[in-house]
Amino acid sequence: MNQATIKYANLDEALHSVAAGGYEAIGLWREPVQEVGLAESARRLRDSGLRFTTLCRGGFFTMPEGPERRAAIDDNRRAIEETATLAAAGAPGSTAVYVLVAGGLPEGSRDVVDARARVADALAELAPEAQAAGVTLAIEPLHPMFASDRCVVTTLKQALDLAEPFAPEVVGVTVDTFHIWWDPEVLPQIARAGASGRIATYQVCDWKTPLPANVLNSRHYPGDGVIDFATLTAAVEATGYAGDVEVEIFNDDIWNAPYDEVVARTAETFGAAVGPHLALPVRTA
């Protein structure tokens, strides 16, 4: 379970709800961790008995050189350390994966090629620190409807091209069905990601239209939309990926529902739509 699916839960609520729901692993977000503090978060994570999968999220480093860029790079450095600490605190099998969203076009810029070059620069700067900390940077291509304001990296191919100069355990990619299902190249690029050992995390949620007024929160439970999870998941598994599969849903209705209900429904829909063989036994309420 990715914590963003129960966005309004604080760290304790998220850990308890997810563990009680029968899950074995959780992906955390920086804000609720910072609210409690890193050391205390690590303690509570350890107490939960859950594996740690990913820390979401950083990046946002498309701006030109200057104080704003330096602040962004420094913030990413801190997130690398947070990821290492949390992965060490999680149950055995935890993965030290830090999810990166590149950022959109800088204010006033129309130069998407330059913005992408700034992403490559940031990776080159952060990769040695990630390597030293034993953390994998997971570049996440976002759906092209976010290309201008959130992420100039729009395809798995592009994310893999950005990752290529680095060792796969240092820079990988986030494979998220919501963002890439539409891509005619998605299956060969999943194969390429797997062959180069760069699938750092596999995340699922569904796509459905019409989109809500805030397109950021247009994600759905697996099976409630049109994504062919069987085909995409089989492609990921065919590469040998055997890591956790995260469900990350941004949706106002789901965010406003009781956490335990969302946790249970996520497990049910995941089992039914993504794959019963991947689902954990879930305790009935």
Please report, as ranges, the residues that interact with a second copy according to CB under 8 A: 105, 109-113, 116, 143-145, 147-149, 152, 154-155, 157-158, 161, 181-184, 207-211, 213-215, 225-228, 231
Cα separations in angstroms, 192 against 156, 168, 211, 234: 10, 12, 31, 14
Query: Least distance (Å) from a second copy to the CB of residue 158?
Result: 4
> What single letter denotes the amino acid at residue 80?
I
Q: What is the DSSP letter of 136?
A: E
Is 147:110 a contact under the CB 8 Å cutoff? Answer: no
Residue number, 109 or 131, with CB nearest to a second copy: 109
Residue number, 218 or 266, with CB nearest to a second copy: 218
The total of other beta-carbon atoms located within 10 Å of residue 88's CB is 14
Residue number, 50 or 119, with CB nearest to a second copy: 119
Q: For residue 199, what are the β-bridge partners?
A: 173
Residue 282 makes CB contacts below 8 A (sequence gap 6+) with: 21, 22, 264, 267, 268, 271
In 3D, which of 277, 185, 180 has the Cα closest to residue 237? Answer: 277
Residue number, 67 or 276, with CB nearest to a second copy: 276
What sign for the dihedral angle of Cα 111, 112, 117, 123?
positive
Is 27:56 a contact under the CB 8 Å cutoff? Answer: yes
| Token duo for residue 57 | 């999220």
Residue number, 11 or 227, with CB nearest to a second copy: 227
Cα separations in angstroms, 149 against 38, 104, 152, 212: 29, 4, 8, 17
Residue number, 10 or 231, with CB nearest to a second copy: 231
Query: Least distance (Å) from a second copy to the CB of residue 112?
Result: 7
Query: Least distance (Å) from a second copy to the CB of residue 178?
Result: 11
